[in-house]
Structure 1
Amino acid sequence: MLAVEDWAEIRRLHRAEGLPIKQIARVLGVSRNTVRTALRADGPPKYERVGQGSIVDEVEPRIRELLQAFPTMPATVIAERIGWTRSMTVLKKRVAELRPVYLPPDPASRTQYVAGEIAQFDLWFPPITLPVGHGQSRTAKQLPVLTMVCGYSRWAAAVLIPSRTAEDLLAGWWQLLAGLGAVPRVLVWDGEGAVGRWRGGRSELTAECQGFRGTLATRVLICRPADPEAKGLIERLHDYLERSFLPGRTFTGPADFNAQISAWLGLVNTRVRRALGCAPTDRIAADRERMLTLPPVAPATGWRCTTRLARDHYVRLDGNDYSVHPAVIGRRIEVVADLAGVRVLYDGRVVADHERAWARHQTISADEHVAAARALRAERVGLLRPAPPAGEVEIRSLSDYDTALGLTDEAGGGVA
């Protein structure tokens, strides 16, 4: 093969020096056909190895027949059908090259989000163990993080919630929407037990979720199973949180976690996004303007129940017992709790107000309630016990007790 330097020199002598082909061949000691080939070539000569073929070439027609009939047939099944006994690596490589020819095209659509139209929600389970007080810690499976991303502006928000129950999830959901200041027209969820699931070719929502969305006058859409592209924005946010938010951070409790993630997302929302060409803060105003306004009356969220206060003047909520003022023992009371606190009402009056305990199996008592219960017990015991008779009480001689117990001798001379 002609060397690159000879090729370059031939072209220089012919084009720059004007030497004829015969003279160039004589000067460089090559044939005239070699000179002609070098002058016709547009680029320098390069070595190309002649292909030797592959052991799969002879069975390729049979592979094509199988793929034409069954485009998704696995390579292992193809090997069995054609009686392949040699290397599976080369066969799998050839099947991978041929399969796209027989599969129907699957183009990826470019999703365009309209202002105010969609927000995606999901639960994120960070790989951490968080202290929750009372000497307890809870893992991510027990303490999920509710996340939100608006489609048009890419505005992100998140809040740690105590559990995946409908009461806590709806309370956290409302907290995110209230912080946003508006309600997107479509709220997209993956299949979540407290929200709903995909069934029978449509979204099937729980009764609690139906009441929640009815108050907001919006639509809740459950994604089809095995369709991660439908909520790609929220999935990318979770990946970003794990790579950029968690590393190097420690948390003293749920309140500290929520404070840190809120401050961090506030900074993230000011950063320019490549897909937008601007920051979410530059779009959020237009996004909110096209959303629905918040309802005049907040939806019913959190824990709400009515019961009669028992004699021990404690109510149980999410595995913990909270004290109530004993003055309303036996009365009908209303227990109202959210992510932060637990309140007990009687006839519209607050008779207990506690901070929500995220630990389990705890007894939360207010000093005022304990003192009031002690005073009521003392008063009741005083009413039931008869008063001593008036006048001086007789003091019995100790010898009378000795005689009654048989501790004196027969002569009456005292203790034996």
Structure 2
Amino acid sequence: MKGVDTIARVRRAYFVQGKSIKQIERELHVARNTVRKITRSGETHFSYEREKQPLPRIGPWPAELNRLLLANEGKAARERLTLIRVFEELAGLGYEGSYDAVRRYARSWSQDRSANVASAFVPLSFAPGEAYQFDWSHEIVLLNGTTVTIKVAHVRLCHSRMMFVRAYPRETQEMVFDAHDRAFAFFKGACTRGIYDNMKTAVETIFVGKERAYNRRFLQMCGHHLVDPVACTPASGWEKGQVENQVGLVRERFFTPRLRFRSYDELNAWLLDKTIAYARAHRHPEFRDRTIWEVFEAERPSLVTYAGAFDGFHAVTASVSKTCLVRFDNNRYSVAAHAVGRPVEIRAYADCIELRQDGLVVGEHARSFGRDQTIYDPWHYVPVLARKPGAWRNGAPFKDWVMPASIEKIRRRLRSADDGDRQMVSILTAVLSDGLPAVETACAEAVREGVCSADIVLNILARQREPRSPATILNTPQALMRL
């Protein structure tokens, strides 16, 4: 049959360019009957499949071949015959056909048999507090007016069918940790066993059977919550069928029609309310006389006591640029100026970024999930201003910097002074030695006195640092008091 590109050219020539069938036949070298079929059917592709595959040689032998294949399948893996040996066995019984015919028949037989077996399942039953299942799904919502594909973490208690759902911008390891912490805090406990698929944030290597090499940080999280992780067989979603069904249920009932929210916090608060309302309103599939919420309340005492939040960060090492910036997840974050020149450890949490050097925190920021964004903390650059005060006026970190009210008033009044920038830098530099509360108090006092200059503010700070002299108490002799 003709390819879809040829069919498209024929359709354009006939319907758009108005060419005749004869002209199309001549220009595109396509038979006239084929052109008629394309233009009259309205189809954009054609396929041909043989309705019945003739088996001239296999024809008398399917029963015997089925018997050999079935007997071979029942043997241990190390004792099974290869297909060439099965062919030789069949040839010994009088078969005169080719090996390829036996191979094609055996492949079709295996496919039909696996389909029949895969369609049947064994119902599972779980004791209270025995296991939970975890999975991710991708949903589309409108966040702050923008269409966004979000990642939704699903946790489901296998006994009570109670579910926990939370949306995230990423499917990374720190999001996995945060979802578990929030789920266990909501359930007020964890189960003794957690059932997962082979997600990369949890499983590093898949061995034979159920043996897995789990990620070190993931094992730390499981150890913290006293959970024994179990990974499913690859491509065997039915082993965690409850949470797989939950994905479809949540998508149908919660995310259809498309949701509209201003932020992730607002969306997650709504999802939590919806899951509780669903559990209170729907009957448990096994205990029909009780709701899911009632069975969940009865299961709570059997859960492992919630151990508190796990320090669920994902750590990477990064270098610091000369502009005091560290790059992580397609964005840049500022660090304290003294950290320049040596690498820092980035601890990425679900909602924030913590930067450490030699065990000390040199930067903290709310996490950004955009691209090519720069997140500054202007206080990180104040030590640099002490040496380069000229950077105050046009420095990128200081644009749109919202400072405390009293310092902001000093800043506005110094704009008209010739050396206002240098004076403002002197005031900000004092924060490094005296602290922000003291500088803010000194600026407030200077504003009240109506004199706004760096000298006045620094003088007030100096007076605040000086210890007050103790009051002198005079003991007057009794004789002098009678005079």
SS of residue in 1 equivalent to 2:211: strand
Q: Is the 8 A contact 2:319 2:326 kept in 1?
A: no
In structure 2, C-alpha distance between the alignment counterparts of 1:61 and 1:380, rounded to whole Å: 92
Q: Is the 8 A contact 1:132 1:254 kept in 2?
A: no
Q: 371, 378, 381: which one pairs with 1:360? A: 371
Partner amino acid, structure 2, of 1:250: R
Q: 297, 302, 319: which one pairs with 1:285? A: 297
Is it true that 1:156 corresponds to 2:139 in the alignment? no
Pick the structure with greater CA Rg. 1
- How does 1:42-191 map onto structure 2 within 5 Å? 65-70=64-69, 108-126=121-139, 128=140, 131=143, 138-139=148-149, 143-191=150-198
Aligned to 2:207: 199
The offset of 1:271, in angstroms, is 2.1
In structure 1, C-alpha distance between the alignment counterparts of 2:390 and 2:266, rounded to whole Å: 44
Percent of counterpart pairs with the same letter? 21
Is it true that 1:260 corresponds to 2:270 in the alignment? yes
TM-score by length of 1: 0.59
Q: Which blocks of at least 5 consecutive residues in structure 2 are unaligned?
A: 1-57, 74-94, 98-107, 393-421, 423-483
Q: Is the 8 A contact 2:144 2:263 kept in 1?
A: yes
Residues 121 and 106 of structure 1, relative CA distance in 2, 3 Å threshold: closer
Partner amino acid, structure 2, of 1:109: V
Deviations, residues 326-379 of structure 1 (Å, cap 9, x unaligned) = 365568865443111223467887654322111122111234446665455218
Partner amino acid, structure 1, of 2:275: L
Partner amino acid, structure 1, of 2:365: H
Residues 230 and 340 of structure 1, relative CA distance in 2, 3 Å threshold: same
Aligned to 1:337: 348
Partner amino acid, structure 1, of 2:302: R
Q: Is the 8 A contact 1:322 1:363 kept in 2?
A: yes
- Which structure has the highest helix share of the two? 2
In structure 2, C-alpha distance between the alignment counterparts of 1:328 and 1:225, rounded to whole Å: 45
Aligned to 1:275: 285
Partner amino acid, structure 1, of 2:285: A
Deviations, residues 111-161 of structure 1 (Å, cap 9, x unaligned) = 2110000000011112x165589xx8653xxx4211100011111012223
Partner amino acid, structure 2, of 1:360: R
Partner amino acid, structure 1, of 2:304: L
SS of residue in 1 equivalent to 2:189: coil
Deviations, residues 224-268 of structure 1 (Å, cap 9, x unaligned) = 123232111101111111211111222334333323322221211
- How does 1:28-47 map onto structure 2 within 5 Å? none
Is it true that 1:300 corresponds to 2:311 in the alignment? yes
Q: Is the 8 A contact 2:173 2:314 kept in 1?
A: no
Q: Which blocks of at least 5 consecutive residues in structure 1 are unaligned?
A: 1-58, 73-80, 84-94, 383-416
Residues 283 and 232 of structure 1, relative CA distance in 2, 3 Å threshold: same
Q: Is the 8 A contact 2:178 2:350 kept in 1?
A: yes
Is it true that 1:315 corresponds to 2:326 in the alignment? yes
Number of residues paired by the alignment? 297
Partner amino acid, structure 1, of 2:178: A
Q: Which has the higher contact order (CA 8 A, sep 6+)?
A: 1
